[in-house]
Amino acid sequence: MTEPRYDVIAIGNAIVDIMAPSDDATIERLSLNKGGMTLVDAEGARRLYDAMGPAKEISGGSAANTLAGLAALGAKCAFIGQVADDQFGKVFAHDIRAGGIDFDTPVRSEAEPPTAQCLIFVTPDAQRTMNTFLGASQYLPAAALDEDAIAAAKVLYLEGYLWDPEEPRAAMRRAIGAARAAGREVAFTLSEVFVIDRHGDDFRQLIEEGLIDVLFANHTELEALTGTSDFEAGISALHGKVPTLVVTRSAEGAVAVRGGERAEVPAVPTTVVDTTGAGDLFAAGFLYGHVRGEALETCLKRGAICAAEIISHYGARPEADLKALMAEKLG
């Protein structure tokens, strides 16, 4: 096996986040799914944008957020995702490359649909209500994959959100094959319960076939995937099928199981401002330790530190020096 060029290469939605403070009355008036993620069409995106107050725009997308955290920690990363040849597409490409992440996916030249957007309403209780227009991101073709880059990464990281559209789902299946053929690991994040409701059979089949090496879930996603509300029973249901299972539990911390080893860590205390990207950055911290062969507990601690940083401010990209935070918290 050749020496890897990247620590992690990820495939995910290439999205520009549009975030604005909100209140519960607005969430109710607009009939939004508070604290969840809902897919909207172009008309719905325009309607919600018009209903927003002053907003902040920043490149996002779950897997891209994870890479931003990894790159900030010093990892070598690359991203595969589809943007259109428009203003938001240029913003996304600039932001991700400025973060030190390789991004060479050819732009989609067609005028429609435009680059994806996620309209996020943040209420005073720090809950983020996400409304995602997938736009160009759901048209990522298998032909756009750089299979040499996939083979040159220690870990291929896949975003569950992108499993929903047919074209990128086929691309990710092909990417899994390329990673496997090169002897690389595949990591997968379940993303959201609605994704499991729609594609849980696919995910369970990938797990049964031994195609997932590292699985990320939160406690509600674990319940949806395994069909049991008993947390320990859910862990047991996947034990032995996934080499490394990582489950976050919000304020209760996180658990990871690898082979016969189990580790648990509490959440890192912080002032919660916005929970957007908490799971994404937890995955960043964990994977940073994982690709370096660190102890399971250390990987979890890194994830908890990154998650605490991201929820202490608006937006899903790190603002503090993550390297300095690691040095301070881990010693």
CB atoms near residue 54 (< 10 Å): 6
Residues 70 and 291 sit within 8 Å (Cβ to Cβ): no
Domain chopping of the chain, boundaries: 6-14+60-114+138-330
pLDDT at 234: 97
- pTM for this prediction: 0.90
For range 289-293, the mean pLDDT: 97
Query: Percent of the chain at pLDDT above 90?
Result: 80
Average pLDDT, the chain: 94
Q: What is the pLDDT of residue 175?
A: 98
| pLDDT of 227 above 70 | yes
d(C-alpha 13, C-alpha 157), whole Å: 12
Domain 6-14+60-114+138-330, second-level architecture: 3-Layer(aba) Sandwich (3.40)
Render pLDDT for 65-110 as a digit per residue (tens, 0 to 9): 999 999 999 999 999 999 999 888 998 999 999 999 999 999 998 7
pLDDT in tens, 235-275: 999 988 999 999 999 889 999 999 889 999 999 999 988 88
Interatomic CA distance for residues 157 and 94, integer angstroms:
21
Inform me whether the pLDDT recorded for 111 exceeds 70. no
Q: What is the pLDDT of residue 1?
A: 59
- The answer to whether residues 322 and 72 touch, using CB atoms and an 8 Å cutoff, is yes
Asked whether residue 331 carries a pLDDT value surpassing 80, the answer given is no
Tokens 């390329």 belong to: 178
